[in-house]
Structure 1
Amino acid sequence: MSQPVPPLRALCRDCGARLAPSAARCTRCGSPRLVKHPELDTLAIAHIDCDAFYASIEKRDNPELQDQPVIVGGGQRGVVSTCCYIARIYGVRSAMPMFKALEACPQAIVIKPDMAKYASVGKEIRERMRALTPLVEPLSIDEAFLDLTGTERLHKKSPAETLAGFIRDMEADIGISASVGLAPNKFLAKLASDLEKPRGFSVIGTAEAEDVLAAMPVGRIWGVGKVFQQKLERDGIRTIGQLQEMEATDLARRYGTIGLRLARLSHGDDSREVTPERGAKSVSAETTFFTDISSFDTLRPILRNLAEKVSARLKKAELSGRGVTLKLKTADFKTITRARHFSDPTQLADKIYAAGENLLQIEADGRRFRLIGIGVSDLENADRADPRDLLDQSAERRKNAELAVDRLRDKFGTSAVELGLTHAARAAKEAKKQGDK
């Protein structure tokens, strides 16, 4: 007669052995990398976040970089996309201006991003996740939520054991490490995955959630950005523990619907489900200049080129959108966003550009800009896009002309037909490339 499997309270991450909670090392392989928790058998919501993803891929592909500080990002005028943990010791962080990153770590090796390579690795990891459970909710190229509820019968293992095996196999087969957060819901799982990076496996259980959250700053709550965090701090609320002591009705009276969310999340209560398919929230394109630009006339052709890129992506994906957002970054790294909305969704470059140009004209007041971008949001299917405009009789002609240009570009290439504005933008881009060299 087979012996019953003892409850899982401790697990070796290196060999998968089930251990007694009192174990200091694995009795099978001797590893000290154990994960212990009284709820380890019952938790099933995970957040997996690859460690320094782009930099890890570059180090994998070039072993000579293993012990070097590596920054993946643009040139002197760009920003840090990501950096390895060695570079982080020197104070380098994602989204930091490149010149500041190199001031902090002048010996760093800078590598331009290879997005095609990163996307390929990300896709392979995503497919491996989907082999564990169909409930995979991607957040970005290198992180996702997983719901492993009910997978014990399929894998003959608890979710914790399945996740530990997944990470071991990913490191061995793909050469990339990741950190895991395991919890009863998405909010706590995301917090847990950040606790022990890199190569972490952290657990936040239901019983301890409030105590773990209490000392954390309010900025750790999902949906609390920098501006709202500053507002809460001005109101004397700095820690999640302070929110726990407040009534939900009081928080709602102060901050509206977000106040109710603060009340729930501060106690570790998150009812959001892991949603397998996350549609794109927006489609956008942007560019950083080699030298700052202040002239409206110089910015216009660049904006037109970006609007055409966004339009092409929308058409390819059979999407349209009602919102257009202009993004600008000033010479002193302040980000400006301005938006307008249409009554009907669009996917036409002509309309996207016209909206962006109107917004740009207001902002181009002599300030120097280092970046410009444009995006379309409030996405929906393309079948309702750009209906006939009875008030603008020329709109239909412009639409048909744009679609005719699209057909020519599909057949002969994107440069087969160019407007004067886009030709100027391409010339500016070529000049930028020469400057980068």
Structure 2
Amino acid sequence: MGYRRALNDHPDLHSLCRDCLHLWAGAPGDGRCPRCGSPRLAIHDELPSLSLAHIDCDSFYATVEKRDDPSLRDKPVIIGGGHRGVVSAACYVARVYGVRSAMPMYKALDLCPDAVVIRPNMEKYAAVGQEIRKLMRAVTPLVEPLSIDEAFLDLAGTERLHGTPPAQTLAGLIRRIENRIGVSASVGLSYNKFLAKVASDLEKPRGFAIIGQKEAQTFLADKPVNMIWGVGKALEKKLNQNGFQVIGDLLREDEHSLIKRYGVMGRRLYRFARGQDSRKVEPESETKSISVEYTFDTDIDSFEILAAELSKMCDKLSARMQKKGYGARTVTLKLKDRDFHLITRSKTLPDPTQRAEIFFNIGLDLLKPEINGTAYRLMGIGGSELVEASEADPPSLANPDSLRKAHLDKTITEIREKLGPSALVKGFPPQ
């Protein structure tokens, strides 16, 4: 990483204190800020000129829970769906024991039996994520969310607006996120998206890592090829078999040969290995789908029980569609069995909908053929090919009652939001 290089070898270094935000030319004589004495410094010769950042909150779900319950501060905390679920997030205390995201819960509890397990509260996490995003947008309009707790930011040209270079503005933003919202985050600062994302993982938690243009290829040369965005396990295995163990190995190939061997991905391999990434930060990409899914505490093979769970999910899906202002033209059912084999089944509707009853009827039709003795550990229902809410559930001469039923769904959602999800329980006619 750039600022770990020997300080004496780089007379053009700049230093930034991440606590008091003091910025000065040169290296700190004793490794501390001359103004406040903090050792939390960012030091790099390209620090004033870099403007593309990736911000990633540290163990976000667990940090939010610790913020809301200070008694958990020093305890191992796992966010997940019960004994039969998987780990959604693990705090850094739990990670010391080897607990990782996506690990089966039983394995996580074997590794860390004293962990406090908390079921995910996605609505709370989403609300906190929106608060953080609001602070991000206050420093630049070019914010591209990747998930609820991470985003790319392009701060090029913001010096005139804030009176500070991007690195200093970012350090102030991270300080505000910690002080106002109570969660910590790590920053990767570079000259493109690929390297900014790589940098944000280098010093977690509360990191501020920098990869400059001068050192990019040297930095990447000895890193495993799976560090390149888009290289999953299958492609990594294929690359290794072909003699590409580290990113530097890709430098011996020209772009044409990599494209010939790996298709479109070959172009990315060629360019990313050289620290090249021309992708722009795209603010708030359009929502592609909305879904609800649940991991059961015990595997379920009963059609009646799965149908009852599906009914609840469709109510939630309808409420989310209404809240976000969308209707869906395609409905997709998702099932995962005890061996983690995933099944997805979809159906496209003649007209888009927000209605829970329609989601349920379609979901039930997709579910019936999969009831064959297989026990499922997870089920989900979602809608895609989204349209504006005004285009959903149009009046139909063939079904003149459809408008009344759509209005009823909205009324039920409003009552549940005010009085709680169990205020009204809706039944569906037998299939």
| Structure 1 residues 343 and 202, CA gap change in structure 2 (3 angstroms) | farther
Question: Per the alignment, in what secondary structure is the counterpart of residue 150 of structure 1?
Answer: coil
TM-score normalised by structure 2 residue count: 0.85
Question: In 1, Cα distance between the equivalents of 2:356 and 2:127?
Answer: 29
Q: Which residue of 2 aligns with 1:126?
A: 133
TM-superposed CA distance for 1:341, in Å, is: 4.6
Q: Which residue of 2 aligns with 1:426?
A: none
Q: Name the count of aligned residue pairs.
A: 413
Q: Which whole-Å deviations, capped at 9, do the CAs of 1:156-205 have from their partners, x for residues lacking one?
A: 11111111122233333333211100011111111100011011100111
| Structure 1 residues 377 and 228, CA gap change in structure 2 (3 angstroms) | farther
Q: Which residue of 1 aligns with 2:428?
A: 419
Q: Which whole-Å deviations, capped at 9, do the CAs of 1:373-429 have from their partners, x for residues lacking one?
A: 01122333345556789xxx95x457446425425535765736421469xxxxxxx
| Structure 1 residues 61 and 303, CA gap change in structure 2 (3 angstroms) | closer
Whether the aligned pair in 2 keeps the contact of 1:301 and 1:421 (CA below 8 Å) is no
1:403 to 403, 406, 415: 406
Question: In 2, Cα distance between the equivalents of 1:356 and 1:151?
Answer: 48
TM-score normalised by structure 1 residue count: 0.84
- In the TM superposition, what are the counterparts of 1:22-421 in structure 2 within 5 Å? 23=29, 24-341=31-348, 345-349=352-356, 352-385=359-392, 396=399, 399-400=402-403, 402-403=405-406, 405-406=408-409, 409=412, 415=424, 417-420=426-429
Whether the aligned pair in 2 keeps the contact of 1:323 and 1:342 (CA below 8 Å) is yes
Question: In 1, Cα distance between the equivalents of 2:426 and 2:304?
Answer: 21
| Structure 1 residues 219 and 307, CA gap change in structure 2 (3 angstroms) | farther
| Structure 1 residues 131 and 193, CA gap change in structure 2 (3 angstroms) | same
Question: In 1, Cα distance between the equivalents of 2:206 and 2:321?
Answer: 37
Q: Which residue of 2 aligns with 1:12?
A: 17
TM-superposed CA distance for 1:8, in Å, is: 6.4
Question: In 1, Cα distance between the equivalents of 2:191 and 2:248?
Answer: 20
Question: In 1, Cα distance between the equivalents of 2:322 and 2:99?
Answer: 38
Letter in 2 for 1:33: R
Q: Which residue of 2 aligns with 1:433?
A: none
Question: In 2, Cα distance between the equivalents of 1:260 and 1:343?
Answer: 39
TM-superposed CA distance for 1:91, in Å, is: 0.6
Letter in 1 for 2:19: D
Question: Per the alignment, in what secondary structure is the counterpart of residue 309 of structure 1?
Answer: helix
Question: In 2, Cα distance between the equivalents of 1:232 and 1:361?
Answer: 41
| Structure 1 residues 286 and 163, CA gap change in structure 2 (3 angstroms) | same
Question: In 1, Cα distance between the equivalents of 2:405 and 2:240?
Answer: 50
Whether the aligned pair in 1 keeps the contact of 2:322 and 2:410 (CA below 8 Å) is no
Question: In 1, Cα distance between the equivalents of 2:124 and 2:395?
Answer: 42
More displaced stretch, 316-325 vs 186-195:
316-325
Whether the aligned pair in 1 keeps the contact of 2:12 and 2:45 (CA below 8 Å) is no
Question: In 2, Cα distance between the equivalents of 1:246 and 1:238?
Answer: 13
Q: Which residue of 1 aligns with 2:7?
A: none
Question: In 1, Cα distance between the equivalents of 2:255 and 2:370?
Answer: 40
| Structure 1 residues 132 and 64, CA gap change in structure 2 (3 angstroms) | same
| Structure 1 residues 343 and 244, CA gap change in structure 2 (3 angstroms) | farther
TM-superposed CA distance for 1:61, in Å, is: 3.3
TM-superposed CA distance for 1:272, in Å, is: 1.9
Letter in 2 for 1:21: A
More displaced stretch, 236-245 vs 277-286:
236-245
Whether the aligned pair in 2 keeps the contact of 1:187 and 1:270 (CA below 8 Å) is yes
Question: Per the alignment, in what secondary structure is the counterpart of residue 284 of structure 1?
Answer: strand
TM-superposed CA distance for 1:18, in Å, is: 2.7
| Structure 1 residues 339 and 220, CA gap change in structure 2 (3 angstroms) | farther
Q: What 5-or-longer segments of structure 2 have no aligned partner? A: 1-10, 417-422
| Structure 1 residues 142 and 63, CA gap change in structure 2 (3 angstroms) | same
Q: What RMSD over aligned residues (CA atoms) do the two structures have, in Å? A: 3.0
Letter in 2 for 1:317: K
Letter in 2 for 1:272: R
TM-superposed CA distance for 1:216, in Å, is: 2.5
Q: Which residue of 2 aligns with 1:435?
A: none
Q: Which residue of 2 aligns with 1:21?
A: 27
Q: Which residue of 1 aligns with 2:8?
A: none
TM-superposed CA distance for 1:154, in Å, is: 1.8
Question: In 2, Cα distance between the equivalents of 1:407 and 1:27?
Answer: 60
Question: Per the alignment, in what secondary structure is the counterpart of residue 135 of structure 2?
Answer: helix
Question: In 2, Cα distance between the equivalents of 1:117 and 1:344?
Answer: 32
